[in-house]
Amino acid sequence: MMTQDAIGIRGKVVIEVFDPGNELVSRTVAFNTVVDGGRALIAKLMSGEAKEPSFAIVAGISEKENSPDLTELYEPDGIEPLRVERVKSDSGNVVLSGSFKEADKDRQIREAGLELICLVDGTEFKTLYNRVRLKEATPVRKGQVLSMNWMLSFAQATE
């Protein structure tokens, strides 16, 4: 059985904003921090203790620094979590993608994350898997669409 210490988990997110005509307005790439709860839940999935994983993409407005003990974003600002629409996988790399609904008001996105949802002992369990704190805010104007593509790499550590 592989423990969480033997799993090298890395990732980055590409955040894109599109205007109503589907033209790209901005693109930001940022590397994420995997939080302790997410790392522990991945270990449970790999051991078979947790089942039926799914992800939701979350976005928020907080400028607070990352912390390993986070279980949710600091300030989601009323943005509804988005269940991942597309998952691609090959050779230990996974790409999770989704687009939020058209923005109902202007926002300054400063944080983003992936929530991991799965069954543990038959009960749905949800925790923040990773978080990105953006160096600069990503403006999303009313009517624009926010899209995120998370690239995750799960590599077994070599001895």
pTM strictly above 0.85: no
Which domains does the chain show, CATH number per domain?
Answer: 10-156 (2.70.160)
Q: Which two tokens stand for residue 121?
A: 């002992």
Q: What is the pLDDT along the chain (159 residues), one digit of tens a residue?
A: 333 344 566 789 999 999 999 999 999 999 988 889 888 888 888 899 999 888 888 898 888 888 888 888 887 777 788 888 777 777 667 888 888 888 999 999 999 999 989 998 889 988 898 899 999 999 999 999 999 998 888 665 444
